């Protein structure tokens, strides 16, 4: 399987949310019906996979995306102006 680099900016907020939920093993959130389309889209992009137990796991590309999400959040927090 070839690794496709998906920039964080191209991920929707729902896709970012699902990647974080997979990383945290939050299956109750992942099984909500409104995230079904997002899960399938992330599987198509090769970012998550279903393992033999039926739970979701991040692929290597998904782990990279998770790291980029963390970095972008840290960057946005550090560049946000202080409120008076």
- What are 76's two structure tokens? 């946005």
- What are 62's two structure tokens? 């998904």
For 23-40, write each residue's pLDDT tens digit.
888 878 788 888 888 888
Task: Give the architecture-level CATH label for domain 8-79.
Answer: Orthogonal Bundle (1.10)
Domain coordinates in residue numbering, the chain:
8-79
48 within 8 A of 18, measured Cβ to Cβ = yes
For 33-67, write each residue's pLDDT tens digit.
888 888 889 999 999 998 888 888 999 999 999 99
The upper half-sphere exposure of residue 14, i.e. CA atoms within 13 Å in the direction of its Cβ, equals 12
Beta bridge partners of 49: 57
Q: What is the pTM of this model?
A: 0.70
With vertex at residue 12, the alpha carbon angle to CA 7 and CA 13, rounded to the nearest 5 degrees, is: 115
Whether the per-residue pLDDT at 17 is higher than 60: the answer is yes
Sign of the CA dihedral 62, 64, 65, 66? positive
> Given the DSSP bridges, would you call strands 56-58 and 48-50 parallel, antiparallel or unpaired?
antiparallel
């Amino acid at each position: 399987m070839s690794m496709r680099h998906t920039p964080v900016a191209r991920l929707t907020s729902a896709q970012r949310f699902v990647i974080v939920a997979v990383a945290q093993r939050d299956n109750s959130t992942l099984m909500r019906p409104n995230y079904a389309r997002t899960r399938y889209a992330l599987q198509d992009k090769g970012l998550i996979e279903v393992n033999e137990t039926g739970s979701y796991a991040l692929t290597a590309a998904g782990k990279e995306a998770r790291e980029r999400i963390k970095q972008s959040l840290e960057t946005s927090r550090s560049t946000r102006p202080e409120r008076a």
